[in-house]
Copies of this chain bind each other. A is one copy, B any other.
Amino acid sequence: MLKNDEYLNLINEKLNEYLPKKAEYENNLIKAMRYTLNLPGKRLRPILALEFCRALGGKIEECLPFACAIEMIHNYSLIHDDLPCMDDDDLRRGKPTNHKVFGEAIALLAGDGLLNLAFEVMVSKETVALVGEKRAILASRVLSNACGKDGMILGQVIDLESENKSISMGLLKKMHINKTAKLISAACEIGGIIAGANEEQLLKTKEYGLDLGLAFQIMDDILDADQNEKNININKNLSDKENGKSTYVTMLGLEESKELVNDLTNNAIESIVFLKDEGEKLKKIAKKLSNRVI
């Protein structure tokens, strides 16, 4: 079992291998792609992929290209999400957002470039030599399905179209499942695919990811509500409640939302009982996410 730091080093090193610094090759596009990829982050999704791969008996180095592809897709979604026509955010992970540094046009293209690069990496000669055609195809299929019009992008659209209005609990859940949980679940499943896990194992792996992803997003609502309460006190910002947006907290209240996070976390942990001792780190990740304060 690797420690978080060891995983982070592996992932960060490989990500930068895919965007090498070569004088003749350097341009604003590459710089912009590298900029957001290199912002300090937890690397939750690639770590889940690598750890599921390891826990299921696979080789971490075989999963590394896919873990990087997942992180590229996550980062492209952040760049596009932050654009003025979307959330119009100036800061991301405490640093200026991509378009604040490189301008909107380059930020748009850097997002496109990262999405495209994710697929380049998964079907590259190097990756296919490592894992074979069958697993490269399966992993690409899982990732592309999780991120498209029936996954992450659908979640974005629901989010966009439910701004400033209240929505049903069903739609709120659909939004979070699609926007957040499916990519996290895909990361877990891809770890399993690269390890050669069987159907039943993959199913449990996906369940863990979906529950974890939903819990993660509800925790975000809870932390936002805390933050907004503080902001209201210093008269700085509108809470989601005040701007009319539905969240788990506005719909269920704080206590019930926290209970739901606990239930989902327990379900996630339940799903990976079959991993026995090898599931220890994955249990810890789930518990840590449900107790995080930022």
A78 within 8 A of B: no
With A134-B133, A144-B123, A160-B106 as given contacts, are A153 and B80 in contact (CB-CB < 8 Å)? no
With A112-B115, A128-B137 as given contacts, are A105 and B27 in contact (CB-CB < 8 Å)? no
Contacts of A124 in B (CB 8 A): 141
Is the CB–CB distance between B27 and A112 below 8 Å?
no
Stretch of A6-14, A28-36, A238-246 that contacts chain B? A28-36
**Complexed CA–CA distance, A128 and B28 (Å):** 37
Is the CB–CB distance between A29 and B149 below 8 Å?
yes
A290 within 8 A of B: no
By secondary structure, the A interface counts as helix
A200 within 8 A of B: no
A251 within 8 A of B: no
Q: Report how many copies the assembly holds.
A: 2
With A80-B108, A137-B137 as given contacts, are A157 and B28 in contact (CB-CB < 8 Å)? yes
A252 within 8 A of B: no
Is the CB–CB distance between A85 and B112 below 8 Å?
no
A127 CB → nearest B CB, Å: 10
A256 CB → nearest B CB, Å: 29
A212 within 8 A of B: no
**Complexed CA–CA distance, A56 and B276 (Å):** 54
The number of chain A residues touching the other chain, given as a range, is: 35 or more
**Complexed CA–CA distance, A85 and B111 (Å):** 14
Query: Digit string of A11-55 for contact with B (CB within 8 Å is 1, else 0)?
Result: 000000001000000011110010000000000000000000000
User: Which of B83, B140, B145 is within 8 Å of A140, CB to CB?
Assistant: B140
With A28-B157, A161-B28 as given contacts, are A113 and B148 in contact (CB-CB < 8 Å)? yes
Q: Which chain B residue has the least Cβ–Cβ distance from A99?
A: B85
**Complexed CA–CA distance, A29 and B152 (Å):** 12
Query: Digit string of A103-120 for contact with B (CB within 8 Å is 1, else 0)?
Result: 111101101110111011
**Complexed CA–CA distance, A76 and B156 (Å):** 17
**Complexed CA–CA distance, A11 and B153 (Å):** 25
Query: Digit string of A70-95 for contact with B (CB within 8 Å is 1, else 0)?
Result: 00000010001001111000000000
A125 within 8 A of B: yes
Known contacts A29-B153, A133-B137; 5 further A-B pairs (Cβ under 8 A): A83-B108, A106-B157, A112-B112, A116-B148, A123-B141
